Amino acid sequence: MSLNKKSVDDINVKGLRVLCRCDFNVPLKDGKITDENRLVAALPTIKKLIADGGKVILCSHLGKPKGEPKPELSLAPVAKRLSELLGQEVKFAADPEVVGPNAKAAVAAMKDGDVILLENTRYRAEETKNGEAFSKELASLCDVFVNDAFGTAHRAHCSNVGVAQLVDTAVVGYLMQKEIDFLGNAVENPVRPFVAILGGAKVADKLNVINNLIEKCDTLIIGGGMAFTFVKAQGYEIGKSLVDDEKLDYCKEMIAKAEKLGKKLLLPVDAVCVKEFPNPIDAKVDTIVCDIDAIPADTMGCDIGPKSAALFADAVKAAKTVVWNGPMGVFENPTLAEGTLKVAQALADTDATTIIGGGDSAAAVNQMGFGDKMSHISTGGGASLEFLEGKELPGVAAANDK
């Protein structure tokens, strides 16, 4: 997949109708937006299109209406809030079929610099199946297509891939460009030494990522629940810790692969263990710290220990590029968050390019107050993972190459 894509900076949309696919999949409570980060993140691209004098038609999905109109998942509140953020009206086209009479009339009446927002693209069942009829309807509204929704880039839907294939000019917005610059290039063309840190619960979720990153990075660090399958694969007892017994052979293969390729694979050397998993998740727990070869049979590891945290932090100090996906332990619990905190601190303190691959690690870094110290925090969960796997992302591939 070429990562050299045309962006909004390579075109001028003056007088043209521009369909811009954004990620307005925001949390709503009683019709109010509870976190507007995604709206704020979309503003630079929208403002650029307005400043160029384009006729800006925004579209997005919200939640999972499963192909039918659900009033509680309408984008109407988003249009209202965007109007306030942009300081100009964002006209909402309230068509349950998305491209309906309201949308068509609103687009026909547009002047340069006007903005309208279409209804939730997932009100249409064809959206997630990339059905041709809906793609054609979307394409009929515009001269140019801009994709700025990285969170859905790993899916081929009408509003990001189908429509892109039906217009002559399809480019990426600033958010997508940033993801390509950081995540895509970090993996394909990193400044070395390149250190990758993987955490989270299950090995199964990250099989392809582990395999791809061992080939690409200089040092691979594995923490979180998934580390215990690797620890067991090394022949140690892990008590009641999370384990994926079906993946033990895979872990052995990866340990051997790292050795063969001359890559450093760092696994925890100690763990913070508890007798019972905290319930609720942030409940007080009694912990013991033990070396990785001495985990008591009646306990489970729920965080990396202090020696592991120091070992991982040292590896980060020497790096020029660091990619991190997945927490080091049960970071939702203050007692079991220390390992994740120390790794986040190490990333905050380094001059290396630091990239957080979405999902729980993004939540952890922001929660711990290190967000502004990272070079890039990815906005995609699944899309980020597939980028780290080295997969082609349909939403990126569909944009015109430079």
**Within the chain, how many helices (H) and strands (E) appear?**
14, 17
* Positions of E strands within 165-282: 169-172, 194-198, 219-222, 264-266, 270-274
Q: Which residue's structure tokens are 């958010």?
A: 175
The whole-angstrom separation of Cα 285 and Cα 278 is 6
- 3-state DSSP assignment of residue 335: helix
User: Is 62 annotated for ligand binding?
Assistant: yes
| Backbone phi, psi, residue 397, to 5° | -60, -30
**162: its two tokens:** 């189908």
User: Is 31 annotated for ligand binding?
Assistant: no
The whole-angstrom separation of Cα 89 and Cα 100 is 20
Q: Which of 38, 55, 232, 247 is catalytic?
A: 38
Annotation marks residue 31 as catalytic: no
Specify which residues 58 forms β-bridges with.
20, 117
User: Is 232 annotated for ligand binding?
Assistant: no
The whole-angstrom separation of Cα 311 and Cα 268 is 8
Q: What is the DSSP letter of 400?
A: P
User: Is 122 annotated for ligand binding?
Assistant: yes
Q: Which residues contact 279 (CB under 8 A, 6 or more apart)?
A: none
User: Is 81 annotated for ligand binding?
Assistant: no
Annotation marks residue 38 as catalytic: yes
Q: Which of 329, 359, 380, 395 is catalytic?
A: 359
User: Is 360 annotated for ligand binding?
Assistant: yes
Q: Which residues contact 49 (CB under 8 A, 6 or more apart)?
A: 8, 13, 18, 20, 56, 146
**325: its two tokens:** 């996906």
User: Is 155 annotated for ligand binding?
Assistant: yes
The whole-angstrom separation of Cα 195 and Cα 183 is 13
Query: Does residue 96 have a cis bond before it (omega within 30 degrees)?
Result: no
Q: Which of 202, 275, 320, 373 is catalytic?
A: 202
CA 207 to mean position of chain CA atoms: 17
Are residues 378 and 384 in contact, defined by beta-carbon separation less than 8 angstroms? yes
Q: Which of 47, 382, 390, 391 is catalytic?
A: 382
User: Is 366 annotated for ligand binding?
Assistant: no
Annotation marks residue 260 as catalytic: no
Q: Which residue's structure tokens are 């870094």?
A: 365
The whole-angstrom separation of Cα 396 and Cα 160 is 9
User: Is 358 annotated for ligand binding?
Assistant: yes
Reported residue count of the chain is 402
Q: 31 exposed, middle or buried (CB, 10 Å; 0-12, 13-18, 19+)? A: exposed
The whole-angstrom separation of Cα 264 and Cα 247 is 20
User: Is 239 annotated for ligand binding?
Assistant: no
User: Is 332 annotated for ligand binding?
Assistant: yes
User: Is 178 annotated for ligand binding?
Assistant: no
Annotation marks residue 262 as catalytic: no
Handedness of CA 295, 299, 302, 306 (dihedral sign): negative
User: Is 23 annotated for ligand binding?
Assistant: yes
Annotated binding site for (2R)-3-phosphoglycerate: 38, 122, 155
Positions annotated as catalytic residues are 38, 202, 359, 382
Q: Which residues are annotated as a binding site for substrate?
A: 23-25, 38, 61-64, 122, 155
Q: Which residues are annotated as a binding site for ATP?
A: 206, 301, 332, 358-361
